[in-house]
Each structure stands twice: as C-alpha cells, then as structure tokens.
C-alpha cells in the first residue's frame, strides 16, 4: 500500500466512531469513486476549513459571517438565551425548531476529572449579554448526567441574586418510553414533577 | 447550521458504514480540532486525490509511480500471479505477507444481478501476461460466496487447456473456529479436503 494511502487511512481511523477496518473501507470507496466522491468531499472539506468561524457572541460555529446566523437572525427572539453544552446539542435543539431564541454555547461542562473549571462556562460573558440586552429568561439545557446537573446548579447559583428568570429542561418519562423499563431516577423525577 | 457544514455532513454520511448521526459527530470533531485534525486530513486527502493511479499491469492502485510498487518490486516472485476481487482483498493478503508474487485485480466478480459479465475479469490481459512472462502458477483467491465460486470456476475453465497450473485457496475450518459452531458447508468442505 502506498504511504499516501496509508496516511489517509490512519487519519480517518482516528475519527470518532471509526477504526482501521472502517477507515480502510472508506478510503477504498473514496479511491474507487474519485470523481463522484473523493473530489466533492475534498472541496466541501476545504470550504469548511477555510470558512469556519466561532461566533464571538454565543460561541456557535458558522461559516462566512463573523456573527453566526442565529445571533444575526432578526426573526428570532432576543430576550431569551438557551445554555447548551456543545454545538452538537445546539444542532439537536435547532432540528426540533422548538426554540427560537439565542444560544450560549459552553466550552464544556464542569468536570474535576477532565480539569474543567468555571472558566469553561464563560458566565461573565453571559452576564454581560444579559446586562446589555433585556434578557427575560435563561434556559439551561444540559444533559441529565452528573456533570450536566453540577453545571446546571453552578449556573443557577451564579445568577441567583441577579433578577433573571432561570429555568432548566424538565425531567420525566421520555415520549414513547414504557414505565416498567424506566430507571428509578427517572421515575422519581417524573413523580416529583407531576402536574 | 451553515450550508457548508451541512453539505460536508451529507457527503460524509454517504460513506460506507456511516450515517447522518456519525457524520455529524465526525464533522464536529473535525471543526473542533481544526489544526490537529481537519487540516492534516485535508492535506492527506488532497495528496491521495492528486496522486492515485491505477497500475496498468495488475489494476492495483498506488500513488506516484505509473506501475505499482508491487509490480515494480524486484524482490518479489514474477512467476506466480494471485487473482483477487478488489484492492481491499489485495491489502488483506499483503498484510499477512504470506504471498510474495504478483497480483491480478478484477474489476468485480461475475454477477448476473449486478450485470457484471466476463469483461470484469480482464482474462485476456491476464492471458497476455502469462504468455509474455513465464508464469508457473495462478492462484485464485476469491471469497467463498456464490459469486466468488462462480468466478473461480469461470477462470479455471478459461485456462483449462492452456498448460498453466491453477489453484484456489483451501476451504476448511478457520483457525480458532469451534467445530460445533461451523455451518454444514464448511464442515463438508473440511471433510472432503482432509489430509
């Protein structure tokens, strides 16, 4: 195998969810379909490489514009900010179109294991945004994991005496979930939050 | 999500073994690691794109050289040719280093469903190679599937009266395989070929 191809296989095998075997399959597919697959892939990747920018307002990632398309969209509500852990979660929320406000993307959750302290939350920036614009509500939309809930508490505590309404996503039975397959924690949360 | 990023996700999700979810994960990884992952990936892919060539002798794929590194390697045996279905299989055989001869890579197996006839086997070219060089043996190393075995038979038939030794890979119990988990076909083959 030529060193060029071997290098590409190695690089692809380091992507999340892939290994040497799947990387080899992908490279063979790309090589076999040089015009239909490899060339467009290359151009598309180059586009993203050249154009990605981190939005200075919400830390979302976008191409072309300096301020991301969500922050600059005039049709979206400007008085409500949703705190998410990552762009992946932002995309997931955007896909449902259930939220039409602004975002605040964290650099990561609080995690003593990974050495991620409060500076990852950029709460001063968020505070500044709240002061400059009239923000009526901050929605904390973090995962229901230990790190997620710790971060949720920390953010709530930070904004405690600052006269801003802070809410978190509800915990309960997921739609389509069967009661007898749910874990105790979820059932407990669903009971406590019944209404 | 920006259209550039969306296009890249779409392109990656069409690769074998990937879907929209894993493609999104990969793109987020690439974007987050622009310098350490996206840039080297782009360069490596560009290298392969610019340099891949199909070897005119054996149809192997290589970079830089016109004739592939296997065909031009003087340390390898020149009197023995191994017929394989694809470069993936060639790479698999090369990894074991159990074969040091030349290759003949088919364009595909005989398959009436996929409309692949004898022209995919390029047997005239193989015949020509045999006539021009002194080939003592052709090893047919195809999968033990219906298509593989049909193609195996076809190639054997093609070379029947041409005074070249033709062999196929042995069928039997795979190393590490437990007898009681084997299918009937494999057990039958292992019994017939006992020795």
Residues 66-85 of A with CB under 8 A from B: 69
Q: Do the Cβ atoms of B11 and A40 come within 8 Å?
A: yes
Q: What was the ipTM of the complex prediction? A: 0.77
- Residues of chain B contacting residue A42, judged by C-beta atoms under 8 Å apart: 42, 45-46, 49
Q: Is B56 exposed, middle or buried (0-12, 13-18, 19+ CB in 10 A)?
A: exposed
Q: Does B53 touch chain A (CB under 8 A)?
A: no
User: Which residue, A60, A63, A104, is CA-closest to A81?
Assistant: A104
Whole-number Å distance between alpha carbons of B160 and B94: 28
pLDDT, tens digit only, all 195 positions of chain B: 788 899 999 999 999 999 998 999 999 899 888 889 999 999 999 999 988 888 888 888 887 777 888 888 889 999 999 999 988 899 889 888 899 999 999 999 999 888 999 999 999 999 999 888 888 899 999 999 999 999 999 999 999 888 889 999 998 889 988 888 888 888 888 898 888
Q: Do the Cβ atoms of A47 and B7 come within 8 Å?
A: yes
Look at residue A10 in the predicted model and tell me its pLDDT: 93
Q: Do the Cβ atoms of A4 and B51 come within 8 Å?
A: yes
Q: Taking CA atoms, what residue in B is nearest to A4? A: B48
- Strands (E) in chain A, as ranges, are 52-54, 61-63, 80-84, 102-105, 137-140, 165-168
pLDDT, tens digit only, all 195 positions of chain A: 788 899 999 999 999 999 998 999 999 899 888 889 999 999 999 999 988 888 888 888 887 777 888 888 889 999 999 999 988 899 889 888 899 999 999 999 999 888 999 999 999 999 999 888 888 899 999 999 999 999 999 999 999 888 889 999 998 889 988 888 888 888 888 898 888
CATH class of A61-192: alpha beta
Q: Do the Cβ atoms of A45 and B17 come within 8 Å?
A: no
Cβ(B137)–Cβ(B156) under 8 Å?
A: no
Question: What number of other Cβ atoms are within 10 A of residue B191's Cβ?
Answer: 9
Look at residue A149 in the predicted model and tell me its pLDDT: 93
Look at residue A194 in the predicted model and tell me its pLDDT: 86
pTM above 0.90, yes or no: no
Where exactly are the structural domains of chain B? 3-51, 61-192
User: What CATH number is given for B3-51 in this structure?
Assistant: 1.10.8.420
């Amino acid at each position: 195998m030529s060193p060029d191809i071997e290098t590409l296989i190695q690089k692809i095998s380091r992507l999340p969810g892939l290994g040497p075997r799947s990387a080899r399959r992908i490279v063979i597919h790309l090589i076999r379909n040089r015009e239909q697959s490899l060339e467009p892939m290359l151009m598309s990747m180059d586009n993203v490489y050249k154009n990605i920018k981190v939005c200075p307002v919400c830390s979302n990632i976008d191409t072309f514009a300096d301020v991301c398309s969500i922050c600059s969209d005039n049709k979206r509500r400007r008085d409500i900010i949703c705190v998410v852990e990552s762009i992946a979660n932002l995309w997931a929320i955007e896909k449902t179109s259930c939220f039409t406000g602004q975002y605040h993307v964290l650099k990561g959750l609080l995690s003593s294991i990974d050495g991620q302290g409060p500076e990852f939350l950029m709460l001063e920036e968020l505070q500044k945004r709240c002061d400059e614009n009239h923000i009526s509500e901050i929605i904390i939309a973090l995962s229901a994991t230990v790190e997620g809930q710790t971060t949720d508490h920390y953010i709530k505590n930070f904004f405690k005496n600052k006269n801003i309404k802070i809410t978190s996503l509800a915990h309960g039975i997921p739609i389509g979930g069967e009661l007898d397959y749910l874990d105790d924690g979820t059932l407990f949360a669903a009971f406590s939050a019944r209404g």
